[in-house]
Amino acid sequence: MDEKETVKNPIDENQQAAGNTPEDEVNELDNLKKELDEQKEKFIRLYADFDNFKRRNAKERVELIQTAGREVIQAMLEVLDDCERAEKQMNHSDDLNQIREGISLVFNKFRNVLQSKGLKEMKSIGEEFNPDFHEAITEIPVPDEKMKGKIVDEVEKGYTLNDKIIRFSKVVVGK
């Protein structure tokens, strides 16, 4: 080989043939690094936003749980006031009929407040025993064949709140 002859790099020739120079590759590499940094930044922001959302959602859930009964309690305060007035009246009055009437009014108001909040009493006596709604306390013999397997007495009433059972009826079933 001649000293003046230089060996040509086949890689350089291919790059030049494709129009890619080393400077173009460096620029492309820089552009890719910038794009990667932008995507990382977007990811970090999105992750932080999601983390903030989770924290805010958990805080709202805790607040909701803590104040869930607030509306019911506020409605019950009126009934509590009536109970206190009835108690004062009982201490100062000897008229038994008047006391009964007052207590009956307070009791009815109490029921109405609970019903207005979605509470419903479950009907049990005379119904067929259903373990989905009733809890059998005991079975007793019944003289009538028609009452076998049916509820003959209710020890504790069952209730639903907005059509969901919140307390099962405790019942006595005929056998």
Query: For residue range 100-157, what is the model confidence (pLDDT) as tens digits?
Result: 888 999 999 999 999 998 899 999 998 999 999 999 999 999 888 888 889 999 999 9
Residue 42: predicted pLDDT: 95
Q: pLDDT tens digits, residue range 145-159?
A: 888 889 999 999 999
The answer, yes or no, to whether residue 20 has pLDDT greater than 80, is: no
Q: pLDDT tens digits, residue range 160-173?
A: 998 899 999 999 99
The pLDDT-based confidence of 175 (bands split at 50, 70, 90) is: confident
Phi, psi of 57 (to 5 degrees): -65, -45
The answer, yes or no, to whether residue 70 has pLDDT greater than 70, is: yes
- Please tell me the pTM assigned to this model: 0.57
d(CA 101, CA 86): 10
What letter does residue 127 receive in the DSSP assignment? S
Name 169's Cβ contacts closer than 8 Å, sequence gap at least 6. Answer: 122, 124, 133, 134, 135, 151, 154, 156, 157, 158
The answer, yes or no, to whether residue 5 has pLDDT greater than 70, is: no
Residue 8: predicted pLDDT: 53
Residue 153: predicted pLDDT: 92
Q: Does domain 120-175 have CATH number 2.30.22.10?
A: yes
